[in-house]
Structure 1
Amino acid sequence: MTESPEQATPLGGMGLADRLKRIDQLESELTRKGAAILGKAVDLTHADFFIFGALRRTLAQARGFRDLIEARNFPCAAAILRLQIDTAMRINALSLVDDPDATCKAVLDGQQFNRLKDRDGKKMSDAYLREKLATDHAWISPVYERTSDFVHLSGRHFEVSIARTDDETRTAYFQISGHDPQRPDETYFEAVDTFFEATKLAGMLMLACLTARHQPEIVLASMKKDDL
């Protein structure tokens, strides 16, 4: 697909099933931590509702991605990876505005994100939001660009339909099916590992927002610890 982000955990000899299980475990962790924060929350605002929707979307896409990889449906799985990055981009956008609640209310009222502006007066287009997220996560841009090819009909759909080639006869064999041509599990490793990183990033941004809003004492304690 493209260059993978650095892995936080050495994967060693993990197979495809274990890699997918890692995503499943991350889903459970995000659910547990999100519930722990929101279970004590009061005076919920539009920003909270927006993050609720983002968390629900993140978890649904993670489950869908796992199902699609298990079903050997790479084109749809790659498109969902692109959508997972899209979620992270929009949650990160809340740090670019002075009034997250007003921004989220506008989105919940039906305004398109790319018509809203950040605190510097710049329109928050997809390209701009991707650039801002990639400032601290350089792997975002190349993965976003490659997976966007699966969101729109492109030459990538032709490429993944090739089952095998014969160099001697210069013949290509295609599989017209909803399932991928027969490929080894290793073919999916990079996409699965990158999806894990995208889901972790989106989850980290959402939990950070919720913690800052509803448990500011934790953020303050962390800042004081960093100053020591």
Structure 2
Amino acid sequence: MEAQLPQHAASVLDLIAGIESDSDLMVKVGQQVLSSGGDGKSAPMFPLDFLALGAIKRNLNTARAFRQMVESWNMICARTLLRTHIDTGLRFSAAWEVQKPHDFAMAVLRGDRIDQMKDRLGQRLTDKRLVELRSGNYPWLQNVYGNLSGYIHFSGSHIIDSVASLAENSDAATMSFLLSDTDLRFPEFSWIEICECFSEATQILRKYLTGWAQTKAMTPEQLDAQRHSGD
């Protein structure tokens, strides 16, 4: 019989509830994308719509799994999911960096690798490049993304997480390890930080999804004017 896990602090529980609310809002954004015809009716489907729907689906599944990991005190998997979650927003936003977004979307649908494609300046759309492009609006992104990269593949990050304590004295150092499927040693602020980062990453995706919905709702004249304005 598994031991009963403690409950997170109220501050963490509030953030978990906020992430669930974000998922409800993400569904509404998806509905907005599909119905953005400028007249309140359903709009024609474009290649970028398929990319948007795939990003929303991945977002919803990741968010649910993330909440479950936090609730079960599984920091290692929560960090892995956060890295995946950030990736969704970054790679969807790559469509704004290419000459022909719909061709880009079709290439992704065919299975082409985004990190092998190039932006308008001829630079490959690697994760590093996308992080650099978005860091101006999201200053936390570069450090967080870099720190989380070690959780995607087995690395030193996992070794460090297995250490329970380290004591040093004049004669020798003593290290103890904890082999457990929970991470109860992390303080409250660590859980707050990872939940806040998750919510911030959701905003990246929602921003670009909303931008696409608004673009679809424009008349040809409005779209042409926006193109000439350089926005």
TM-score by length of 1: 0.82
2:183 to 176, 180, 184: 180
Opposite residue 179 of structure 1, the aligned amino acid is: T
In the aligned structure 2, how far is the partner of 1:185 from the partner of 1:216?
A: 49
Any stretches of 5+ residues in structure 2 without a counterpart?
Answer: 1-8, 36-40, 227-231
Q: Give runs of aligned pairs for residues 72-151 of structure 1, distance below 5 A.
A: 72-151=73-152
Q: 1:52 & 1:158 partners in 2: Cα distance?
A: 37
Aligned to 1:38: 34
Task: Label 1:183 to 1:127 Cα distance change in 2 as closer, same or farther (>3 A).
Answer: closer
Q: Tell me the SS of whatever aligns to 1:123.
A: coil
1:162 equivalenced with 2:163 (yes/no)? yes
Q: CA deviation at 1:216?
A: 5.8
Q: 1:142-185 CA deviation, whole Å, 9 max, x = no partner? A: 11000001112122112222234456795333211222144443
**Which residue of 2 is the match for residue 209 of structure 1?**
212
Any conservation in 1 of the 2:90–2:204 contact (CA below 8 Å)?
no
Deviation at 1:106, TM superposition (A): 0.7
Name the structure 1 match of 2:38: none
Q: Aligned pair in 2 of structure 1 residues 65, 215: CA closer, same or farther (>3 Å)?
A: farther
Which deviates the most, 170-179 or 102-111?
A: 170-179
Q: Secondary structure at the match of 1:143?
A: helix
Structure 1, unaligned stretches of length 5 or more? 1-12, 224-228
Change (3 A) 1:54 1:165: same
Contact residue 164 and residue 173 of structure 1 kept, 8 A: yes
Distance 1:115 1:88, change over 3 A: same
Q: What's the TM-score, normalizing by structure 2?
A: 0.81
CA offsets 1:71-105 (integer angstroms, 9 cap, x no match):
11111110111111111111221111121100000
Counterpart for residue 191 of structure 1: 194
* 1:26 lines up with 2:29 in the alignment: no
Deviation at 1:64, TM superposition (A): 0.9
Structure 1 residues 56, 187: CA separation in 2 closer, same or farther (over 3 Å shift)?
same
Q: Which has the larger radius of gyration?
A: 2
| CA pair 114-183 structure 1, distance change in 2 beyond 3 A | closer
Q: Which runs of 4+ in 1 moved over 4 A?
A: 165-170
> 2:207 is aligned with what amino acid?
M
Specify whether residues 135 and 28 from structure 1 end up closer, same or farther in structure 2 by C-alpha distance, changes over 3 A only.
same
Counting aligned pairs with the same residue, the percent is 29
Q: Distance in 2 between matches of 1:18 and 1:37?
A: 29
Contact 2:29 2:206 in 1 (8 A): no
Note if contact 1:41-1:214 (Cα within 8 Å) is conserved in structure 2: no
